[in-house]
Amino acid sequence: MSPDATFSFDARVRYSEVDHRGLLTPAALINYLQDCTIFHSEHVGLGLGQLRERERAWVLSHWQIVVDRYPSFCEPITVSTFASKFSGLTATRYFTVCNAQGSYLARAKSTWAFIDVAKGRPTRLTPEYTEPYGTREPIDMPTEARKVALPEHLEDGAPITVCRHHIDTNEHVNNSQYVQMALEMLPREVSPAQIRVDYRRAAVLGDVVYPHLGRDESRVVVDLTDADGASYATVELQ
């Protein structure tokens, strides 16, 4: 465990990040979490450029995000992240978003796979890629099943063609965009208190994503698939 394993940055919720009610959108919240982990990597010398030179990349495989309150326009926030465990081919990373008084606005747990880009598959982590981050103990999160289970009945939504605004530096659909696609299936007032996502494979520019929505008990699940039903990502909203 390392005493300086946490990376944080301060921000203020921007107008471009809020919905019609003036609240931070779920997709913008995820962007803050993504930005924080990328800033952390840049800070320890393992940023986008360094990993690209070594043909390595981190790929997100699972989110669990718990939202206590969506911050409002112009509200100051502090976003923090740290790794809790490196094991074999994967890392576990936690996040917090706090208000000016230090109270939680959101917490998240995530699993990342370390990828050999040249071979296109996960590769074993070595100390040069883990020691600069350090680790610390996890924060408390609700217990969850590791996989998002699909409801028995699913209804089809309108297909979505992947456009340039969906794409990030890895040349595939950004993690937050899958959540936004899922939210487009729901009424605009829906602000989920928990978001869970299983990322299975990457959609790229020009692909067509087919959303399938199901409900059971207190949750909504949107499975985002290709034309043959193979899943890109499965999003659970509660």
- pLDDT tens sequence across 86-102: 999 999 999 999 999 99
Residue ranges per domain, the chain?
Answer: 7-130, 155-237
Of the CA atoms within 13 Å of residue 179, those in its CB half-sphere come to 25
To the nearest whole percent, how much of the chain has pLDDT over 70?
99
Residue 166: predicted pLDDT? 97
Q: Please state which CATH class domain 7-130 belongs to.
A: alpha beta
- 213: nearest Cα among 134, 163, 158, 132: 158
Instruction: Give the C-alpha separation, 204 to 97, whole Å.
Output: 30
Beta bridge partners of 198: 62, 234
Q: Rounded mean pLDDT of the chain?
A: 95
Instruction: Give the C-alpha separation, 130 to 115, whole Å.
Output: 14
Among the residues of the chain, which ranges form H helices?
26-43, 48-53, 127-130, 175-183
Let me know if the fold of 7-130 is the same as that of 155-237.
yes
Residue 235: predicted pLDDT? 98
pLDDT for residue 79 is more than 70: yes
Report the SS3 class of residue 90: strand
What is the length of the chain?
Answer: 238
- The CATH superfamily of 155-237 is Hotdog Thioesterase (3.10.129.10)
Residue 1: predicted pLDDT? 52
Contact 33, 120 (CB under 8 A): no
Mean pLDDT along residues 73-89 = 98
The tens digit of pLDDT for each residue in 144-154 reads 887 999 999 99
Instruction: Give the C-alpha separation, 107 to 100, whole Å.
Output: 16
The tens digit of pLDDT for each residue in 213-223 reads 999 988 999 99
The tens digit of pLDDT for each residue in 175-190 reads 999 999 999 999 888 8
